[in-house]
Amino acid sequence: MKIHPTAIVSREAQIAPDVCIGPFAVVEADATIGPLSILESRAVVKSGTTLGSANHLFEGAVLGGQPQHLHRSQTPGRLVIGNGNTFRENTTVHVALEPHDATTIGDDNYFMVNVHIAHDCRVGNQTIFANNAMLAGHVTVADRAYLSGAAGVHQFARVGQLAMVGGQAHISRDVLPFVTVDGMSSQIVGVNRVGLRRAGIDLAGIRQIKDAYRMIYRSGLLWRDVIDKLRDAFPDGPAAEFHRFLASTERGITPERRPPPGATVRLYHQDDEEEPARNLRVKAG
């Protein structure tokens, strides 16, 4: 273990023998740091935080901060982080609100400068968060999603796998898997073709995703009919994820930008299932 003499490390922390801790870093009691991890100068790992192996915290990163909530518990939850994650300068990640809950981050994620992950968020694997991207509480971001600079996501919203969110977008409803969100309008502008190819999805799978996308956004079907038709038309393959995602939405889904005449506007209210989808309004959060 290599610990700089100016670092402050609690004797009650659990630290693997090969961890490197730089000058003025702080590791509090009840923190766990796995092997091959590196804490640069002024990085902080607070109580209730568990880090897996090979995580790299750059200068000023703070993991395990208290939730920013007026009614937070006196005994908040934990922060559980997997392996191989990079937290660049001044990234902040908070523990969960309640003692039985945890904010969770998977493996091989890259968080750039000033990223903020609030309490009770769920971040998958191999995501990328560009500078100043922000998640409010209880947000879920699935595997290989990409949030561009200064994108912000509202409480309880979800970002699906392999979605691409543009810079400065403000996301208040769920973002479907495999789509691209334009930063200026904060609306969907099509399928994330580049991301799909990089993920190794073949042409047949991409065509299937495009077919499902058109069914959701441009068929003019009622909301419940869209969900049922997705289930029947795409029982397997990558497009099967659309049915699983839409069937579980609570905030509604992000609309498409400038849809053609008669197309579906992708907003959902569970009390309005008999209305055409283009007339639906998002459920109040």
Q: Mutual orientation of helices 223-233 and 240-247 as an angle, nearest 10°?
A: 150
Q: How many residues can be counted in the chain?
A: 285
> Helix, strand, or coil here: 93?
strand
The strand pair at 158-159 and 140-141 is best described as parallel
Those residues with Cβ within 8 angstroms of residue 161's Cβ, 6 or more apart along the chain or in another chain: 124, 142, 143, 144, 145, 177, 178, 241
Cα 141 from chain centroid?
Answer: 2
Say how far apart CA 144 and CA 71 lie, in whole Å: 33
Any idea which residue has 């879920």 for tokens?
Answer: 140
What's the maximum distance between 2 C-alpha atoms anywhere in the chain? 67
State how far the Cα of 31 lies from the Cα of 98, in Å rounded to an integer.
Answer: 17
Residues with catalytic roles: 119-120, 137
CA distances from 41 to 58, 111, 275, 276 (A): 7, 17, 57, 56
Contact at 8 Å (CB) between 173 and 252? yes
- Distance, in Å, from the CA atom of 214 to the CA atom of 179, rounded to the nearest integer, reads 12
